[in-house]
Amino acid sequence: MPPTAAFTINFRDFYVLAPEIVLALWGLVVLLYDVGWLRKLPNASRQQKLGWITLLGVFGALIAAIHALMVRFNLYGMQELFNPAWMDFDRPEPVIFWGTLAGDLFTETINLFLILMLLVAIRLSMAWSFTDSWGEYFALILWSTVGMMLLAAAEELLTLFLTLETMTICLYLCTSFEKNKRRSAEGGLKYFVYGSVSSALFLFGLSLLYGLTGTTELYAIKMVFTPETGDSHIGLAGNVSGMTALLLMLVGFGFKVAAVPFHQWAPDAYEGAPAPVTAWIATGSKVASFVALMKVLLLGLAPWSNHMRDVATPGWVGVVAALAAASMTFGNLAALAQRNLKRMLAYSSIAHAGYMLVGVAAAGYSSRHSESAGSVLYYLIIYGFTNLGAFAVAAWLARDKDSDDISDLNGLGFQYPGLAVCILLLMLSLIGMPPLAGFFGKLYMFMEALNEKNPEGRLTMLWLVGLGLLNSVVSAFYYVRVLKAMFLRPAEGTVVAPAGPAIALPIVVGTVVALGFGIYPAPLVDLMKSAAVPMLDVSGELIGSSLERAMWNRARRAPTGPPTDVKLELPASVAPQAGSTAPQAESTPPPLLPGTGKGQGAASKKGGGMGKGAGKGAGALKKKGQGKGQDASKDAPPSDQPKTDSPTKDAEKTEAPKKNESGSDDLKKAAPKADAAKP
Amino acid sequence: MSDLVLLTLLWLIPLIGSVAVLFIPKSMELAIKGVSLAATIVTFALTLVAFAEYVAPNSSASASLEARAKVNQVKADSVEGDADVHEEPGAAQSDLMVRRPWIPYFNIQYYLGMDGISLSLVLLTGLVSVLACLASWGIDKQVKGYFSLFLLLTASMMGVFLSLDLFVFYVFFEVMLLPMYFLIAVWGGPRREYAAIKFLLYTLFGSVFILVAVLILYFFESPLTTTGFSGHSFDIVEMTRIASTTGYYTHNIQQLVFILFFIGFCIKLPSFPFHTWLPDAHVEAPTPISMILAGVLLKIGGYGLIRLAWPLAPLGAQDWAFPVAVVGVFSILYGALVAMAQTDFKKLVAYSSVSHMGYVTLGMAVMNLAGAGKYYAYGVNGAMYMMIAHGITSTGMFFLVGVIYERAHTRDLNKLGGLLNIMPIYGAVSILIFFGSMGLPGLCGFIAEVFVVLAAFNYNRPLAILSAAAVILTAGYILWTLQRVFLGKSEQYKGLPDLTVREKVIAVPLVVLTVALGVLPQPMLLSWMSPSVQQTVNAVARGASQGQTGAGNTVASSQP
Amino acid sequence: MSHDIPLNWFLYFAAASFSIGLIGVLVRRNAIAVLMAIEIMLNAANINFVAFWRYGETPPGASPLSGVMVAVFVITVAAAEVAVGIGLILLCYRRWHAADVDRYDSLSG
């Protein structure tokens, strides 16, 4: 169904989005209820009331998500039960809303887990009164979740950017909600500055990608870059503009997932934010960002993963591997020095991002993408639940002691042995001690990383995995510090009050997840493995148009194609054949981006990092025109497809600009019409 | 009793006990201790049941692991249906092996089994945990937590010796760390936290080496494709067979794997360069935990060497045999010399452990494979014998040190003295057990040392002479210690009570075993343990000969 | 309505303004200036989008306006970001009585 096909809305799409819609509307309900009925109440009871109302909405979304999973994907054979014939919801649609969002098993699974985490996080927020704007607070948390869920579902870069912003803007605000604390406002501002700079970098990379491909849909981007024959991992050799786009986007994602060296915001924001918000930033936002990262890299930019299938050749696998190694090592070493529990957890979450990036790199380089990606998803879920529990401990301290140093935990083990044992298990799971889920998750990911037949690069992976394992040992040192405080030190000064259900819930849930999926991981492994398949392959029964478009793009790339004038006469839908049938002429359709020349422009601001590419690009720039054509064709063997600024084109530009212009304008206008007429 | 129930209960009963203890109210200390003791006694009884099944005439359990593994196949296709997952050899016959799929995606099995090697150590574990539990009677701080962790430790040690799947092995291996950490860190001496974190980090580093070796073995794909085996297995028995009969694991890989395993288990053993955590841990740990640590935990290192390092990488082992033997001899000498210099009774015993564990390393390393590995079998038998003998004597020594510390509140050898007159039974028991450790003929340590030195003599004379000479050093520090502690006269300690009934109950089995193992080595241990040792030795010898004869088989090595 | 100005020029301009924005973020210490620099970066990307859209060719079936649509949405997002950013800066200003980002130093380590 082409997007321009008269914009018919398929109402089943809304059904697929039911959890998101429920949450988004519920945010409004919460706000209105707060303003309308609860203004007069004292703060604490207002918080409780609103919290329960929010939870009600989250439960609604949970039911919607479970319903969708069961009906649309026939989990546990529940399809018949919930799917009356007239609804006909059972057909899993790979994409909805004209290909902007996915609506497959993967998104529904992630939605389910995000909602479960949200449930825990909201309950945690009800632990104590750290603000008085409760309506806004709960609404923002709900909306940030909507952003996360849509981010995980985005199949198209504009949607991805918008949802990313929805998520982060809500979280910037949530971070500075602790009114009586200086550090909360400061953490929020720092998070905001780093976050929006990273968004801008990401957006600029995205714009270059758009220029290179002419589309923003991930699958179409992949098709454009994939050569018809040969290795589908063509890498980036010589493609300076592509490299710039890629690096910029990686920097953006690096900020979002807090990978070294783009991690500086994380400790500050984590420490500054109220503990429940920290928990939500560290888990929900990380899960969603990682999913988006994997989608962009493993789906859209898969052809750029690497060249020659080796890790060290140009392509994003090498970059991601380097980020992973740096994040693991730096995160763990920095965490060693921390005395503040939240800050320590912040650095440890940087380290965990490093472990997960190992999995991403593995998924990029291996031929078993979806299995590797499934292992990262498994780790993400385990990480999310255990970290929620860990931050609940910080919330406990913040509530009762108004500080969150590790030493504040002294003597907890003697006072509340039950919960202390749960915390112990959480910490062990974060270290990666068997038989807890953290161990299995790590091992699962590392084993998938090594599980690749291709011998090249396997050694690199082995080093990476070895580094990861050594880092787990280092991490034991600081996690054990928490255990030491709880069990080996006598209580001093004021002691914490009983946890209460709000704080106990995340801790217990995290423990159950860590223990349950550690001893019997098979169900979650299976679910994640099958969920990762649609994540990396929306094509299924993908909209024909996207495929068609991709073919068209690919055709343009080949040194074929009729002169532009010829093209005018062709209806848009014929274009693909035109490309494949006419391998005679030298000219190509107008390029969007004069390959290397542009690369230089973008590269120059990256300074040293891009030195090599920039130099080459600069050369190309000086030579403009004809020279550029040669240059591009020379250093862009497989990948630099549609960009060759061909001499013919230049000639046309000077000779008959008017005609050419009006022509392509006509084409533009004709295309939608033709398509609209079709169905 | 079916294998599944028996082998599972061996580790599950302490685990259930460990959880059950948590639900007993804090005030009922006696109930807590009673439940723990019951759990350890039941476990020990079960090990005896297993032993009876193993040594019963015509027992199918005494067949080699490989033969039994063939009978107990996991049927991949019947993973879901639990009805007939594996074939029992016969309804009445039990062969002490279970195999069930656990995580089929990675080919991980719940695979437990026993042969003579593991059975001897399982028996030791059962016995030592009962004795240590009795010795824990005096614990009065955080009783509930103590016994819970203690039973968890027992469960994991049992699991390590039982597992025949590398993944299961690793899980139990790691689970062991945590209770040990807390047992030292909460109930230990003044520098307990330092000792505990040192123990934890050393062992964690060691386990990283082990895990990497396991992953290499799992993922290694040989250029040799004719074996019908393609890696992706955690099955120890199967991998041992592959390593010994085919050239599947290339030379380089075996060297790498051996080094990784060796370092990993040497930390646990501990052998010379990695031993520094041991004196700290021993000195700080409470008495019963020292007993467990010396009696069983150190054996896990030795067991890892004998079960994993050598059989899974025989070629690598052969290449590295001489350096390893040198490390062993050095450990023997170094441990003995340092022990001599100690004034802390417990530290002395700790260093004597380092020295004795050197014999284990040496016994494994003296790979004179001439004559179908006849002499090498002496070495490995000696190493195993040393593990059992040391398990008994060192348990006893730490127990005895604990007894005197409890009464005299000092462990300083220069302050103690004249105890033989004051506590005659204590003195007699101590002298016997210390002599057993020293290797006096007729006591258990002697047999082990003779075997190892004999094997070493056929491997490398200078090393053999050095290791034999170490007996003098051992005699030196032990006799000197006995002299300082027990002889002479002491006014200060007059009136110290002799062993109580509980302490006698602990001492009796140790004394009996020290003598029995020295006088009747064959019926007590060797008759049923040696066949398994011989199978291991044969496997290693065959695997090591792949290097020479099967040069064509082992294609130029490649990286993992 | 022509290609009189080559695409490259737009791209150079966008790259230049993006660099200016990035440098601004790194160099300026005033929070408001930082916010403005971020805006410049976003708008540089917008220029790219519109230029690519104008000079590029729309694949069949794709939205004919995708580049422009992105730009419009980005403008909206930028507005939202500014609103939030100003709010946060005000919050900090009230606590520290300064808009200098170097002064906000209660968190470090």
How far, in Å, CA of A539 to CA of A95, rounded? Answer: 9
Residue C108 lies in a domain: no
Q: Where do the structural domains in chain B lie, given as residue ranges?
A: 1-175, 208-552
- What is each CA distance from A52 to A298, A367, B62, in whole angstroms? 39, 47, 64
Q: What is the pLDDT of residue A248?
A: 92
Cβ contacts of A140 within 8 Å, gap of 6 or more:
A27, A170, A171, A173, A174
Q: What is the pLDDT of residue A642?
A: 40
Domains contained in chain C, number = 1
Residue A201 reports pLDDT greater than 70: yes
Q: What is the Cα gyration radius of chain A? A: 26
Residue A333 reports pLDDT greater than 50: yes
pLDDT tier at B66, thresholds 50, 70, 90: confident
Which candidate, A473, A480, A481, A472, places its Cα nearest to that of A339? A481
How far, in Å, CA of C74 to CA of A199, rounded? Answer: 11
| Joined tokens for residue A606 | 């990256």
Helix (H) or strand (E) holding B7: helix B3-22
Percent of chain B whose predicted confidence (pLDDT) is above 90: 38
List of chain A residues whose C-beta atoms are within 8 Å of the C-beta of residue C63: 3-4
CB A140 within 8 A of CB C51: no
Residue A345 reports pLDDT greater than 90: yes
- Helices B444-457 and B501-519: crossing angle in degrees, nearest 10, is 40
C43 touches chain A (CB under 8 A): no
Residue A96 reports pLDDT greater than 80: no
List of chain B residues whose C-beta atoms are within 8 Å of the C-beta of residue A521: 103
When mean pLDDT is compared across A207-211, A413-417, A613-617, the lowest value belongs to A613-617
How far, in Å, CA of B302 to CA of B533, rounded? Answer: 13
When mean pLDDT is compared across A302-316, B15-29, B71-85, B288-302, the lowest value belongs to B71-85
How far, in Å, CA of B285 to CA of B347, rounded? Answer: 11
How far, in Å, CA of A397 to CA of A389, rounded? Answer: 13
Cβ–Cβ below 8 Å for B185 and A447: no
Kindly report the nearest CA distance between residue A435 and chain C, in angstroms: 34
CB B358 within 8 A of CB B267: no
Residue A263 reports pLDDT greater than 60: yes
CA dihedral B12, B16, B17, B21 (to 10 degrees): 160
CA angle A388, A392, A398 (to 5 degrees): 145
CB B426 within 8 A of CB B498: yes
Task: For residue A21, count other CB atoms closer than 10 A to its CB.
Answer: 15
| Joined tokens for residue A274 | 């109220």
CATH number for the domain spanning C75: value is 1.10.287.3510
Residues in chain C, overall count: 109
**What type of residue is B242?**
I
Q: What is the pLDDT of residue A138?
A: 93
Q: What is the pLDDT of residue B74?
A: 67
Percent of chain A whose predicted confidence (pLDDT) is above 70: 70
Q: What is the pLDDT of residue B63?
A: 78
CB B454 within 8 A of CB B526: no
Q: What is the pLDDT of residue A100?
A: 82
Query: Does A261 sit behind a cis peptide bond, omega within 30 degrees of 0 on the bond before it?
Result: yes
How far, in Å, CA of B53 to CA of B59, rounded? Answer: 7
Task: For residue A612, count other CB atoms closer than 10 A to its CB.
Answer: 12
Cβ–Cβ below 8 Å for A433 and B181: no
| Joined tokens for residue B467 | 């290791």
Among A197, A203, A668, beta carbon nearest to C64: A668
When mean pLDDT is compared across A254-263, A414-423, B245-254, B447-456, the lowest value belongs to B245-254
Residue A154: helix, strand or coil by DSSP?
strand
When mean pLDDT is compared across A72-86, A260-274, B206-220, C30-44, the lowest value belongs to A72-86
ipTM: 0.95
A344 alpha carbon, distance to own chain's centre: 23
How far, in Å, CA of A79 to CA of B297, rounded? Answer: 54
List, in sequence order, every residue forming a beta bridge with B101; answer none if it has no partner. B109
Burial of residue A245 (number of CB atoms within 10 Å: 0-12, 13-18, 19+): buried
Which candidate, A565, A424, A627, places its Cα nearest to that of A507? A424
3-class DSSP string for B265-309: HHHHCCCHHHCCHHHHHHHHCCHHHHHHHHHHHHHHHHHHHHHHH
* pLDDT (average), residues A393-415: 86
- pTM, two decimals, is 0.85
pLDDT tier at A91, thresholds 50, 70, 90: low
CB A99 within 8 A of CB A155: yes
| Joined tokens for residue A596 | 């290397």
Q: Please give the mean pLDDT across all residues of chain B.
A: 86
* pLDDT (average), residues B334-361: 91
Question: DSSP letter at B365?
Answer: H
DSSP codes, A253-294: HHHHHT-TTS-THHHHHHHHS-HHHHHHIIIIIHHHHHHHHH
Q: Please give the mean pLDDT across all residues of chain A.
A: 76
Cβ contacts of A539 within 8 Å, gap of 6 or more:
A94, A219, A547
Q: Where do the structural domains in chain A lie, given as residue ranges?
A: 12-536
Which residue in C has a C-alpha nearest to residue A175's C-alpha?
A: C88
* pLDDT (average), residues C27-52: 92
Q: What is the pLDDT of residue A95?
A: 73
Kindly report the nearest CA distance between residue C100 and chain A, in angstroms: 12
Cβ–Cβ below 8 Å for A480 and B200: yes
3-class DSSP string for B370-439: HHHHHHHHHHHHHHHHHHHHHHHHHHHHHHHHHHHHHHHCCCECCCCCCHHHHCHHHHHHHHHHHHHHHC
Among A435, A466, A476, beta carbon nearest to B212: A466
Which residue in C has a C-alpha nearest to residue A201's C-alpha?
A: C41
Rounded to the nearest 5°, which phi and psi values hold at C71?
Answer: -60, -45
Task: For residue B362, count other CB atoms closer than 10 A to its CB.
Answer: 33
How far, in Å, CA of A301 to CA of A216, rounded? Answer: 12
List, in sequence order, every residue forming a beta bridge with B98; answer none if it has no partner. B112
How far, in Å, CA of B128 to CA of B124, rounded? Answer: 6
Which candidate, B99, B101, B77, places its Cα nearest to that of B88? B99
When mean pLDDT is compared across A299-303, A340-344, C57-61, the lowest value belongs to C57-61
Residue A230 reports pLDDT greater than 70: no
Residue C109 lies in a domain: no
Q: What is the pLDDT of residue A597?
A: 35
Choose between B99 and A671: higher pLDDT.
B99
Residue C30 lies in a domain: yes
Q: What is the pLDDT of residue A347?
A: 94
B534 alpha carbon, distance to own chain's centre: 18
Kindly report the nearest CA distance between residue A135 and chain C, in angstroms: 17
Given a contact as 3+ CB pairs under 8 Å, which chains touch A?
B, C
pLDDT tens sequence across A438-462: 999 999 998 888 877 666 667 778 8
Question: DSSP letter at B235?
Answer: B
pLDDT tier at A559, thresholds 50, 70, 90: very low
Residue B116 reports pLDDT greater than 50: yes
* pLDDT (average), residues A508-514: 94
Choose between B456 and C100: higher pLDDT.
B456
Which candidate, B105, B519, B423, C81, places its Cα nearest to that of A444? B105
Q: If contacts are CB pairs under 8 Å, which of residues 9-38 in chain C contact chain A?
A: 11-12, 14-16, 18-19, 21-23, 25, 31, 34, 38
Rounded to the nearest 5°, which phi and psi values hold at B73?
Answer: -80, 140
Residue A618 reports pLDDT greater than 50: no
Which candidate, A134, A151, A135, A144, places its Cα nearest to that of A280? A144
B12 touches chain A (CB under 8 A): no
CB A38 within 8 A of CB A46: yes
**What type of residue is B240?**
T
Question: DSSP letter at A590?
Answer: P
pLDDT tier at A167, thresholds 50, 70, 90: very high
List of chain C residues whose C-beta atoms are within 8 Å of the C-beta of residue A217: 62
CA angle A414, A420, B39 (to 5 degrees): 80
Question: DSSP letter at A509?
Answer: H
Cβ–Cβ below 8 Å for A455 and B201: no
Residue C72 lies in a domain: yes
**What type of residue is B483?**
Q
pLDDT tier at A313, thresholds 50, 70, 90: low
| Joined tokens for residue C85 | 């950013």
Task: For residue B79, count other CB atoms closer than 10 A to its CB.
Answer: 12
Q: Is the dihedral of CA B142, B145, B151, B152 positive or negative?
A: negative
Which residue in A has a C-alpha nearest to residue B214's C-alpha?
A: A447
List, in sequence order, every residue forming a beta bridge with B163; answer none if it has no partner. B112
Residue B51 reports pLDDT greater than 70: yes
Burial of residue B503 (number of CB atoms within 10 Å: 0-12, 13-18, 19+): buried
Residue A95: helix, strand or coil by DSSP?
strand
List of chain A residues whose C-beta atoms are within 8 Å of the C-beta of residue B555: none
Residue A602 reports pLDDT greater than 80: no
Task: For residue B404, count other CB atoms closer than 10 A to its CB.
Answer: 20
Choose between A38 and C72: higher pLDDT.
C72
Residue C90 lies in a domain: yes
pLDDT tier at B233, thresholds 50, 70, 90: confident
A651 alpha carbon, distance to own chain's centre: 44
pLDDT tier at A644, thresholds 50, 70, 90: very low
| Phi-psi group of B2: left, alpha or beta (phi > 0 → left; psi -120 to 50 → alpha; rest → beta) | beta
Kindly report the nearest CA distance between residue A107 and chain C, in angstroms: 24
Task: For residue B69, count other CB atoms closer than 10 A to its CB.
Answer: 23
